[in-house]
Amino acid sequence: MSHFGASRLLVRSIGGSAVRASSTLVRRLGLRHVRGQQQRGSSGSPPAAWTLSAGHGREHRQFGTTSMVAGQTDAGQEFKGYGSDDGQFVNREAVKGVPKILSKPWAVDWSSVDKPSGALFKPPQTAAAWQSFRLSEDEVEQYHRDGYISNVRVLTEEQCDRLLEDYSLFLDEKKPHDGHGYFYEYHLNQGGDPDNVLLHVLGHWRITQLFHDIVFLPNIAVPASQLIDPDRKEECAVRLWHDQLFGKPPKHGGVVAWHQDYSYWNRTLPMKHLTVHIALDAQTEDPDNGCLRFIPGSHRWHRDGNPLPITDDTFGNMESIQTVLTQEEKDSFHPVPSRLKKGEASFHHPLTVHGSYSNRSPFARRACVVNYIADGVKSDTNDVLLSGTDPIAKGAPVKGRFFPIVFDPKWAQATS
């Protein structure tokens, strides 16, 4: 048996346990009561470049015993929240979101696998297959002109439904997932208002096989390589920065205030980042279920090369950004709805101002976000970049187990 096959047997043997979503808040998150699904294996083999290493099942079991404790990294270093070394800003919400529950010793930590498993999609086998995921020149031009592109099909509805099954495993506070301690942050309701619920979590790629695989999805990783260099000098190898889930339940969904992503990420340099927002439910404008909106051209808004200041780290005060905008920026503040269909994605620049209003519709609005960095981006702090990860010294490249390469343009080059 191949090592890849052995790894699938390991996952099946410790598949997810049943979850009963019974609380009022979970009901408001708009999900049916479901049972945890065993992770699915792949019927095909990965390409040679993506063959899993020997003994990785033993590595899973080992990593499963080293979960983060609230407020500390695995190594015991205190987590102070994301912010600049001079204390100018500390994201207190990040500290509040640090998991207070240890992962079970048998819980698989998928960050130990730096390749897709094949559970969500069949990995490309040839250079031509990789090239098939490229954006058109018009789409690349639109991204650099407006700061985003939208309505790019990246998942089937069936793939979305499978991911939503895994999403539902994270909703019962009284019976957390066995791998709960692997989250970087976990907010069942970030603002705390039961009438304006916003589920927001980071790090789920470490917890389930399907969410692990989506960060390697070529439909998003290949375009990211085309778009991620703001100077348009090269197509870059791309690494995972981190993932996110956002959930807005029917009738009670909260807002995500207007913001620029890089305002939260300036602990890394240079600014070669990109965000992919994938709709797991259709995002509608009429009725508005909290669809993502962008401000075209706002990727040119900065303060002496720095992003706009953060005005609300809970995301709850929708219009708080208006307090830091110039009159010219206010005059050009014209939100454009994305209207993403289920399985469609948007790609946006790290300075593009975006946000979403509350969900008062009868429909849920759940989304998976994958944030990428160009290979070679460096840490600009001596603190941990993400809670529970290994510290990377200031000035050192961001790499390693928690920041895997998801695509390298060399993979799409034909060989003689």
State whether residue 185 is helix, strand or coil: strand
Placement of tokens 């979503």 in the chain: 21
* pLDDT(33) > 70: no
List, for residues 38-79, the tens digit of each pLDDT value.
Answer: 333 333 333 333 433 322 332 222 222 222 233 444 444 555
Confidence (pLDDT) at 139? 98
Cα 87–chain centre separation: 26
Q: pLDDT band at 93, cuts 50/70/90?
A: confident
Q: What is the layout of strands, in order, in the sheet containing 256-259?
A: 256-259, 354-356, 292-294, 336-337
List, for residues 344-363, the tens digit of each pLDDT value.
Answer: 999 999 999 999 999 999 99
CA–CA gap between residue 415 and residue 49 (Å, rounded): 14
Q: pLDDT band at 415, cuts 50/70/90?
A: low
- Measured CA to CA in angstroms, residue 403 lies from 40, 126, 206, 214, 382 at distances of 24, 24, 11, 14, 17
List, for residues 173-183, the tens digit of each pLDDT value.
Answer: 889 999 999 99
List, for residues 280-306, the tens digit of each pLDDT value.
Answer: 999 999 999 999 999 999 999 999 999
Which pTM does this prediction carry? 0.82
Of 85, 89, 160, 82, the residue nearest 120 (C-alpha): 160
